[in-house]
A and B are shown apart, each in its own frame.
Chain A
């Protein structure tokens, strides 16, 4: 996420896994959300067509990881 979203002011170690992805200190917007959706699809082969689940998954790194794990196992 740090690389793909070009978060120059942060390193992965500085990001708390429960920290808000949107609405917090990263200053991300819907265009960044789109990039995350795309990266999840490209890197994990998980399509995110249902935006309701995307919204829930985008709360934090942990919720996003849990979403990806659940989809990979399901």
Chain B
């Protein structure tokens, strides 16, 4: 790791002052320290934001008919919180599908949103990467791309966003609340992460000097009984997704009143096609409708060689997730997935 100046402000203003100077915030540290050991990120100033948890940033609480997830609440505490488990089982499932128990004990909700891609070229400072060093090129397109994106890619970058939690947050219409010395701002989840385009070095629309304070979830009671998070990976646990699907249905008997579907492991951001969800409304829940929705969601998808298998895999995973959701949320059936 490179030497860096380190501060631990006791209040939000102190943190914001450090951020304004260009300091890199650290909370759980699970991704940042890993990247610093690899030399991928080399901040000269790091600001520890954990001390400002006392301002309520580590709480999970009811707010505005939904929930407010503090940015400094740990992933494990969020997933196991009774309000999250009961009202947002999709989110609990997605969080528990990610990382390991140790990492979930450390990682924060804010940090989960800001984790970097695990593309091997991004992690290897000995090779070009447009995300790490803009303009150097993207060897992934014709290289090791088994894990990488099939949707929303650009000439510059085919990286994926690695989070499971964010896939559920996208499906659940979360809103990211941020604070800076200039005031506060709310970012709808679909606008928080971005596609690589011509600026693959930017993962999100968070601006320099801004700090995530909490994530707001609107009421989603109608989806709680029929939700499922399916994660397909190289081993049964503790691996990043090849493809993951967060699916939630509001059903009237067999008829779909509303659907929410978001995908992980396929793009630079959690992938969601709201038209496909609207087209499901009023349809009979079943394989025929789900397969059509899957095709709509995957419109424009393309493989890069090693990841060509993700196209049929994603389609099948969408159908399976929706069928699982129809049968009922795992906890509601008294089953464990």
Does A pair with B?
A: no
Interface residues of B (CB under 8 A from A): none
Question: Residues of A at under 8 Å CB distance from B?
Answer: none
